[in-house]
Amino acid sequence: MLFKTAKSIIHKIDEFIDTVEQGILVFRSGVHDYIIKDTHNFQYNFEKLDKLESRADKLRRSIESELISKSLLPAHHVEILKLIDHIDDIIDISKQNLGQFDAEVPMIPEELNNDLIRLTETSVKTAEMVIPACRAIFTDPNNVKEKLNKVYYYEKETDKLAIDFKRKVFQELNDVKLSEKFHLRYFSLHIESLSDKAEEIADLLTSMSIKFRI
């Protein structure tokens, strides 16, 4: 394999990806808890995500330091470091977004609950689908591209659901103040950003898989 001489760093990268993946799932639970007004579990998940984000940051710094100090995989330093940063962005975005719910306490009309849950589920699904490809780039780069099809599918579904959500907010909720509608759109954009980042990672992995096969 391309990376068989760098097993220790690959193991650490795998642990890093595990942590980010856990963060994605905690984010999904946190948003759901907020929507159903489960304050206790929301705070629990917010604190848990904060710890996971800190752990991911430590692992990222350790990976970057080891790659450079030990001159591991020098031909692919730029791509690997960029990928690690992008993956770290996923858990950073998750924590920041949940933090926005905690700080700004958006008013979500009950009739939007299902729409926002579906939007969150689909955006999270996009991020989940990119994880197997992130792992495969280090072990099986020839099969990375086929793992990305679902990423692009769910990213498009997220865009569609986001438009539907905003259309409902601005065209159907006549009793909601305009300022509150803008606030809801703002949170829709927060949730969408997770899917957008996953798409960026998918594009990067496509390019990396071509280079790693050469």
Tell me the backbone φ, ψ of residue 7, rounded to 5 degrees. -65, -35
How far, in Å, CA of 141 to CA of 19, rounded?
22
How far, in Å, CA of 24 to CA of 198, rounded?
11
Pair of tokens at residue 96: 């920041």
94's CB contacts (< 8 A; 6+ apart) are 23, 24, 26, 27, 49, 53, 194
Res 146: pLDDT: 87
Res 1: pLDDT: 45
Q: Mean of the pLDDT values across residues 78-96? A: 94
48's CB contacts (< 8 A; 6+ apart) are 26
Q: What percent of the chain has pLDDT over 70?
A: 93
- Which has more pLDDT, 67 or 111? 111
How far, in Å, CA of 198 to CA of 124, rounded?
9
Q: Mean of the pLDDT values across residues 24-36? A: 97
Which helix or strand (DSSP H or E) is residue 105 part of? Answer: none
- Mean pLDDT lowest for which of 72-81, 89-98, 101-110, 138-147? 72-81
How far, in Å, CA of 58 to CA of 48, rounded?
16
Pair 106, 167: CB distance under 8 Å: no
Res 210: pLDDT: 82
Nearest to 127 by CA among 98, 157, 103, 160: 157
- CATH second-level architecture of 4-213? Up-down Bundle (1.20)
Is pLDDT above 50 for 118? yes
- Mean pLDDT lowest for which of 105-109, 139-143, 144-148, 159-163? 139-143
Which helix or strand (DSSP H or E) is residue 173 part of? Answer: none
Question: Which range, 37-41, 64-68, 146-150, is most confident?
Answer: 37-41
Residue-level length of the chain: 214
Please give the mean pLDDT across all residues of the chain. Answer: 91
Per-residue pLDDT tens digits for 174-200: 999 999 999 999 999 999 999 999 999
Res 73: pLDDT: 58
DSSP conformation letters of 25-91? HHHHHHHHHHHTT-HHHHHHHHHHHHHHHHHHHHHHHHHHHHHHHTT-SGGGHHHHHHHHHHHHHHH
Res 68: pLDDT: 77
